[in-house]
Amino acid sequence: MIMSRKKRQLQSNVPARAAARYWRATLSRDARADGTFVLAVRSTHIYCRPSCPARRPLRHNVVFFRTGAEAEQQGFRACLRCRPNEVAGAVALVENAARELAQSSEDSVRFSVLAAKLRTTPATLRRAFLQTTGLRPRELAAALRLTRFKKMLRDGKSIADALYETGYGSTSRVYERSDAQLGMTPATYRKGGKNMKIGYTITKSSLGKILVAATERGVSAVYLGDADAKLVEELHSEYPRAEITTASDSFERWVKEIVQRLEGNPPRLELPLDLQATAFQRRVWQELQRIPRGSTRTYSQVAKALGRPKAVRAVARACATNPVSIVVPCHRVIREDGSLAGYRWGLSRKQRLLAQESAVASR
């Protein structure tokens, strides 16, 4: 009797679909989800924010709550590492900062003043910005001086979009031309592919089946595999809220381009991308596009190139979550010891891709 009552108490009122989304955010430690829910761990009676750096618990031990207060009502205690009950989540903090900036009539805002207004420290606010927008302090300071940036916020743009469109963070280098570099369309912070209309097509290649999916703005997914159904399923789970249909032949040129790159050939066509990405993922993916065909980099080399030498694991995660294989050549990143590390589409494919590229490059 007591047991069943206890069990019922632990039920959260988060619907199953939201819980699935929360679990994905938990696995990727998505800081953008901070403040939207907490995860409570049955085995430890502790609750965390989604971005908590602690080890991920087993799914069946996790209960989600919208707020820390609800978790505490059920007897959970706040985690001492991520302090979900204290500091507002990084995203909430950045959103509040955006609101402040938009309201301020001054053209230039001092960072310390902004932090004080939000009742936090400059260091915490800086970390929150870096986490959610990928901006370093100097870039951030420049953005805060920018009238146009503030006008965009006033017009209701999200801070990520406004930063993107004013050319900060990951974006300014995007349109530099080089063989390996490609344009990305402006920031898509649409979670789950919301409002995206995606068409896909599946064709054969020397590495098996290849699925290419795109919106009218650019390529959104490039998957490799053996079974059509599995590839399509993958697409739906990457973009659960998108409208997905089989494509007309409108992007046949893109498909051809991708297939010929897959065979190890140099880029012939610029491929626009339409992706959902955090600022950090975007930076990693752009860096990967600079790795020349026929060569490889290690995860720590990529982290160093980004000016974030300690972010090796985050780089590895960004590689693992790259939705556009080939176009963003995550297969060119290997372990420090020269071994291939993982590949979302199978190690043997990674091996063959690299072999093909070095063969064609040395011709």
Q: List the catalytic residues.
A: 48, 330
Contact between 38 and Zn ion per CB under 5 A: no
Cβ distance 255 to 231 under 8 Å?
no
Q: Which CB sits closer to Zn ion, 52 or 90?
A: 52
**The 219-225 sheet, strands edge to edge:** 219-225, 208-214, 197-205, 243-246
With contacts defined by CB under 5 A, name the span among 19-27, 73-81, 98-106, 310-318 that binds Zn ion: 73-81
Interaction pattern, residues 243-262, with Zn ion; x per rule: CB under 5 A = --------------------
Stretch in the footprint of Zn ion (CB under 5 A) among 82-90, 124-132, 203-211, 311-319: 82-90
Nearer to Zn ion, 82 or 319 (CB): 82
Q: Of the two residues 77 and 173, which places its CB atom closer to Zn ion in the complex?
A: 77
Q: Does 90 help bind Zn ion (rule: CB under 5 A)?
A: no
Residue 62 interacting with Zn ion (CB under 5 A): no
The window from 75-83, 145-153, 212-220, 246-254 that contacts Zn ion (CB under 5 A) reads 75-83
Question: Closest CB to Zn ion among 53 and 156?
Answer: 53
Q: Please identify, using beta-carbon distances, which residue of 83 and 230 lies nearer to Zn ion.
A: 83
CA distances from 211 to 221, 341, 345 (A): 7, 23, 12
- What residues between 169 and 208 interact with Zn ion by CB under 5 A? none
Kindly state whether residue 279 participates in binding Zn ion, applying the rule CB under 5 A.
no
Q: Does 48 bind Zn ion (CB under 5 A)?
A: yes
Nearer to Zn ion, 53 or 307 (CB): 53
- Residue of 33, 40, 62, 82 interacting with Zn ion (CB under 5 A): 82
Is position 81 an interface residue for Zn ion (rule: CB under 5 A)?
Answer: yes
- Judged by CB under 5 A, the residue of 31, 41, 79, 214 near Zn ion is 79
**Min dist. Cβ of residue 63 to Zn ion (A):** 14
Of 71-79, 166-174, 181-189, 195-203, the window that binds Zn ion (rule: CB under 5 A) is 71-79
Map tokens 């950045």 to a residue: 94
Query: What minimum distance in Å lies between the beta carbon of 48 and Zn ion?
Result: 3
52 binds Zn ion (CB under 5 A): yes
Q: What's the chain look like in SS3?
A: CHHHHHHHHCCCCCCHHHHHHHHHHHHCCCHHHECCEEEEECCCCEEECCCCCCCCCCHHHEEEECCHHHHHHCCCEECCCCCCCCCCCHHHHHHHHHHHHHHCCCCCCCHHHHHHHCCCCHHHHHHHHHHHHCCCHHHHHHHHCCHHHHHHHHCCCCHHHHHHHCCCHHHCCCCCCECCECCECCCCCCHHHCCCEEEEEEEEECCEEEEEEECCCCEEEEEEECCHHHHHHHHHHHCCCCEEEECCHHHHHHHHHHHHHHCCCCCCCCCCECCCCCHHHHHHHHHHCCCCCCCCEEHHHHHHHCCCCCCHHHHHHHHHCCCECCCCCHHHEECCCCCCCCCCCCHHHHHHHHHHHHHHHCC
Stretch touching Zn ion by CB under 5 A, among 78-86, 128-136, 236-244, 286-294: 78-86
- Binding-site residue total for Zn ion (CB under 5 A)? 6
Residues that bind Zn ion (CB under 5 A): 48, 52, 54, 79, 81-82
